[in-house]
Chain A
Amino acid sequence: MLNRTAENVARATPEPLARKVRGISDKGLAWLFISPTILLLLAINIFPLFWAIYLSFTNYRANRPNEVVKNLGLANYQRILGDKDIWIAMQTTAHFVFWTILLQTLIGFTLAWLIDRKFRGHAFWTTLILVPMMLSPAVVGNFWRFLYEPQIGLFAYAISFVTRIPPTDIQMLSNVSLAPWSIIIVDTWMWTPYVMLICLAGLRSIPEYIYEAAEVDRASNWRQFWSITLPMALPFIMLAVLFRGIENFKMFDMVNLLTGGGPGSTTEVASITLKRQAFESWRTGYSSAFAIILFVAVFGLANIYVKALNKVKQR
């Protein structure tokens, strides 16, 4: 209906005008189509980023908007790089990122490798495994607090059932040495399916004839795994590690609800420190500087990593 009208209008339009309308076609249309997105991103992402860069050189505090803003130069950056608490937060983040990625890659790859045997019903069980990663980390993280309750929680009960440790001793969230593991467990539970899915795609991309050739050469299963399966799936594994690494470096929602950074600051990952500085202590300038440092760190590390990834791909 709409198109017929459009056609009629097109036919009735005098030739030069029609050419004009068609004239905007390619180049004009391209910009017409792309510019709204770019403008939105400039307004909501880039402008705030530049504002944050400006604020990072000042002593501005968002809860005292009327105070005179002083230019501090690089003082905020110097203080952050010399701040012990910031370095502790970075170490906590590194510990969290390292263990979650290690566990997720090991378990995720193993699961993918097993699913690739294509046993009966594998499609159904794969879908079931994928469910946790689609859910809200905040809402589910909040519920894990209940599962971790020392006595009434299911997790503590199950662990004490297996290990015979009294359930009141399993203080996952309030014990200083267990709390970092409590967030690692929840993150691994949630995101192992993610790594598994990408690894599965990698395993399925390996052409069958390579295995056939190896079989003809009488290569052992062990040998096939190390010289065919793993190297050919490696770019996919590395991609999964990249995505998880970026996400977990920024991790906020699940940790904020599960431990809130506590007990003390044992699970205070970088994002939690940032939130405490920015929205509880209201040190806006200082926290902006920290935000910029984090952003540059993610960006830099991701860039180096992508270069390595491309090298592996080209091999």
Chain B
Amino acid sequence: MSLTTAHSVVAPSSNSKRIAGTIIVLYALISIVPLLWIFATSFKTPPDSIAYPPKILFQPSLEGYCNLFTTRTRQTPEYINSLGPATGFCDETTRKRNMVIAGPSNFLPRFVNSLIIAFGSTFCAVFLGTLSAYGFSRFKVPLADDLLFFILSTRFMPPIAVAIPIYLMYRELGLSDTALGMILLYTAVNVSLAVWLLKGFIDEIPREYEEAAMIDGYTRLQAFWRTVLPQATTGIAATAIFCLIFAWNEYAFAALLTSGTAQTAPPFIPTIIGEGGQDWPAVAAGTTIFLVPILVFTILLRKQLLRGITFGAVRK
């Protein structure tokens, strides 16, 4: 430190560092409380979840997860006693509440829909986005700036405004409430992000690599395949995760355009109800399962996060 005098002049004092650190840690802890509460609630029994004052210490239970995956009907104690021995934990907990399991709930199919639609649309958006980004990055495209702005401007539209004509169009084409319709829609929304992000990543790859490859006798297509794609892998992966997160979290289109077979998890989770209102432990369990993949992705993405959320407008 003493050698680099220039730095020591402006380096924050250790005291100000300590104060800054304390405030940041406090903010982080407070802002994370709602998420911890979701996690904790998912392991509470329904009576514990609505206790007053709110219970911070409680006996953990998997009842929320049982309720999330099953539908139950109320029965008389006599009927329940007449049944054979309970099979498994969920059956036993349900019977303690004078209910029997009637069948699986819709959570699993909705979750699978979310997976299919999110991964399908991400694949399409990244595929189209990579091609377009390469086109814009390497070739002289007439009106390139206008086209790029056009691609971005599709993001300015309020989702509900787009949803009205899409709803009518899909009704005509028989795409309402289908996974294909949702994949097409999410691809169209995500492709703008993909083009902008990937163009930034591809711009950073020196042209000399392709030119050298083409002098060696590769065609443009081969050079793209052999030299550009391998170097853009990190950028493509980051873009894919951003598209995935958007499609995974999307609610407005999903709520308005799907109702049954193609419904995704976000419009489904708020409709999980127990007897007399929302079954909060089950909602919390569904929310927890739904959020965990995103938590993992956020940690993986932390270096590219800034670029992704600003359409590549800000790079670190």
Contacts and interface: CB of A to CB of B under 8 A. Distances in A.
Contacts of B287: 139-140, 142-143
B310 interface: yes
A256 to B, nearest CB: 8
Interface string A156-174: 0100000000010000000
Interface in A59-91: 62
Interface string A125-145: 111111111111111101111
Contacts of A236: 314
B220 to A, nearest CB: 4
Interface in A274-309: 274-275, 278-279, 284, 287-288, 291-292, 294-295, 298-299, 302
Contact of A128 (B32, B135, B256, B284): B32
B12 interface: yes
Interface in B1-41: 6-7, 9-10, 12, 16-18, 20-21, 23-25, 27-28, 31-35, 37-38, 41
B225 A3 contact: yes
A125 B24 contact: yes
Given A3-B226, A40-B191, A138-B249, A197 B17 contact: no
B219 interface: yes
A26 B138 CA distance: 9
B205 interface: no
A44 B131 contact: no
B80 interface: no
A121 interface: yes
B291 interface: yes
B231 to A, nearest CB: 16
B201 interface: no
A292 B132 CA distance: 29
Contact of B220 (A22, A125, A194, A198): A22
Interface string B90-101: 000000000000
A40 B162 contact: no
Interface stretch (B57-65, B69-77, B149-157): B149-157
B52 to A, nearest CB: 5
Given A33-B132, A125-B28, A138-B266, A295 B156 contact: yes
A201 B150 contact: no
A41 B160 contact: no
Given A62-B167, A157-B54, A294-B158, A194 B309 contact: yes
Nearest to B141: A30
B314 A34 contact: no
A101 interface: no
B185 A239 contact: no
Interface in A204-226: 204, 208-209, 211-212, 215
Interface of A: 2-3, 6-7, 10, 21-22, 25-27, 29-34, 36-38, 40-41, 43-49, 51-52, 55, 62, 111, 114-115, 117-122, 125-140, 142-147, 151-154, 157, 167, 189, 192-194, 197-198, 201, 204, 208-209, 211-212, 215, 236, 239, 243, 246, 249-250, 252-253, 256-257, 270-271, 274-275, 278-279, 284, 287-288, 291-292, 294-295, 298-299, 302
Given A34-B136, A120-B17, 9 more contacts: A115-B20, A117-B21, A133-B309, A143-B38, A243-B309, A250-B158, A274-B161, A287-B164, A295-B157
Interface of B: 6-7, 9-10, 12, 16-18, 20-21, 23-25, 27-28, 31-35, 37-38, 41, 49-54, 128-129, 131-132, 134-136, 138-141, 147, 150-151, 153-154, 156-169, 171, 184-185, 187-188, 191-192, 195, 217, 219-222, 225-226, 245, 248-252, 255-256, 265-267, 269-270, 278, 280, 283-284, 287, 290-291, 294-295, 297-299, 302, 305-306, 309-310, 313-314, 316
Would you list the 8 A-B pairs with minimal beta carbon distance, nearest first?
A291-B161, A138-B251, A48-B165, A119-B21, A30-B139, A33-B135, A44-B188, A136-B249
